[in-house]
Amino acid sequence: MNIEPTFREQLIDAGILIPLGVDGVWGRNGVFEAICAGLEHAISEAGLNDAPEVMRFPPAMPQDYFEKSGYMKNFPHFAGTIHSFDGDERGQHKLLGQMARGEPWMEQQQPAGLVLTPAACYSVYPTLARRGPLANVGALVDVYCWCFRHEPSLEPTRFQFFRMREFVRVGTVAQVMAFREDWVARGKVFATSLGIPFEVDIANDPFFGRGGKLMADSQREQALKFELLVPINEGAGPTACMSFNYHMTHFGETWDMRTEDGEVAHTACIGFGIERLALAMLRHHGFDLDLWPVDVRAFMGFGTKVSKSVGSVDAVEA
Ligand code: ATP
Ligand code: ZN
């Protein structure tokens, strides 16, 4: 019997995702990166008229930012901390011996004062807060960052390292609610232009522990989170490719962000999961970018023959 390869197997066979032997940690080839670049382009275009302030951060944040963010209260299971060697030469010798014998060798690794960024918007709030009260128009930031979440999975849509592009709005409740409502509508237009099937639904974050269920229920009850879901994995529910989050005054209080008239600021963010959107497009338009619908290609800013520019194993072998 000939069993149809899964989407995951197809991606590996085509060299689009390069396995590294750890679940959810992948290399990517030129085809995948061309799609990511196209998405970046399309997202920039979609946000252009709002003239957001652009911020780019490395994939880690200072430990004190991270601690204050409260992430460990809600998602300790996802966090990744950075440690580096803090010993002397004797220590190094010991470590190399332990490594060679296949023994644990991490005891001399000390916290580097950095934590892997779990969501792109986390570096934005303390940055804005340091500037003092907001202008009366509030703030709008375009942020893009590699993120880490320790959630190893066999589903190709669940990465441990992935890129998140966000538009982050900070201001009065009216400004922030209008922004989110507007973006739910714009998100649907965006997904339509990508030519992928989708639905938008109320959602919750995967809060940790027994208290987590209550947090998730309350988040749903208050309609704080919506997701744009796309069918990608066979035999599984649709995957969240974009999210539309309203945090009320959570980050405003955490970072003491104030509006012009001294009220605690409200915040919202619109997150684009770049890898997931790329996989959604591969799923629905196929692996040959030159064969994608003309209007989708134009929306992504692709030239006439994308395949020429991305390189392929065949090209190298020929
Ligand atoms: P999920 O419910 O699938 O775990 P989430 O609700 O935790 O996702 P958010 O915290 O809202 O996701 O993150 C913003 C966006 O980042 C999501 O809409 C999604 O597109 C993307 N994303 C989140 N987690 C992952 C992951 N593990 N791999 C790839 N993309 C992800
Ligand atoms: Zn966010």
**Amino acid identity, position 157:** T
Closest CA to 194 of 283, 268, 119: 283
Task: Say yes or no: 93 and 138 in one domain.
Answer: no
Q: Which ligand 1 atom sits nearest the alpha carbon of residue 242?
A: 18
305 pLDDT higher than 90: no
In a domain, 178, yes or no: yes
CA of 143 to the centre of ligand 2 (A): 9
- Residue 303: its pLDDT value, please? 79
Closest CA to 258 of 128, 127, 124, 133: 133
Burial readout 140-157 (b: 16 or more C-beta within 10 A, e: otherwise): bbbbbbbbbbeeeeebbb
CA of 271 to the centre of ligand 2 (A): 6
Task: Say yes or no: 90 and 211 in one domain.
Answer: no
Query: Which amino acid residue places its CA nearest to atom 16 of ligand 1?
Result: 273
Task: Say yes or no: 234 and 172 in one domain.
Answer: yes
DSSP 288: -
Query: Which amino acid residue places its CA nearest to atom 31 of ligand 1?
Result: 273
In a domain, 88, yes or no: yes
In a domain, 186, yes or no: yes
Query: Which amino acid residue places its CA nearest to atom 6 of ligand 1?
Result: 205
Distance of alpha carbon 68 from alpha carbon 298, whole angstroms? 43
Confidence of residue 271 (pLDDT cuts 50, 70, 90): very high
The tokens of 236 are what? 């599984």
CA of 133 to the centre of ligand 1 (A): 31
- Residue 160: its pLDDT value, please? 98
Query: Which amino acid residue places its CA nearest to atom 18 of ligand 1?
Result: 242
Task: Say yes or no: 88 and 27 in one domain.
Answer: no
The tokens of 136 are what? 């009366």
- Residue 316: its pLDDT value, please? 43
Query: Which amino acid residue places its CA nearest to atom 3 of ligand 1?
Result: 240
Task: Say yes or no: 224 and 103 in one domain.
Answer: no
In a domain, 309, yes or no: no
In a domain, 4, yes or no: no
Domain limit, last residue, from 94, 113, 132 = 113
- Residue 313: its pLDDT value, please? 46
* Domain limits for position 100: 84-113
Give the pLDDT mean for 127-145: 97
Task: Say yes or no: 106 and 252 in one domain.
Answer: no
Give the pLDDT mean for 131-142: 97
Task: Say yes or no: 65 and 88 in one domain.
Answer: no
Asked if 236 and 112 count as a contact pair (C-beta separation under 8 A), the reply is no
Task: Say yes or no: 218 and 107 in one domain.
Answer: no
- Residue 59: its pLDDT value, please? 98
Ligand 2 (ion): residues with CB under 5 Å are 119, 121, 166, 269
CA of 50 to the centre of ligand 1 (A): 24
Task: Say yes or no: 96 and 175 in one domain.
Answer: no
How many structural domains is the chain composed of?
Answer: 2
Residues near ligand 1 (Cβ within 6 A): 119, 149, 151, 158-159, 162, 164, 205-206, 227, 240-243, 271, 273, 275-276
CA of 118 to the centre of ligand 2 (A): 9
pTM metric for this prediction: 0.95
Task: Say yes or no: 67 and 90 in one domain.
Answer: no
Task: Say yes or no: 170 and 203 in one domain.
Answer: yes
Give the pLDDT mean for 76-95: 98
CA of 106 to the centre of ligand 1 (A): 30
- The CATH code of the domain that includes 267 is 3.30.930.10
Task: Say yes or no: 21 and 74 in one domain.
Answer: yes
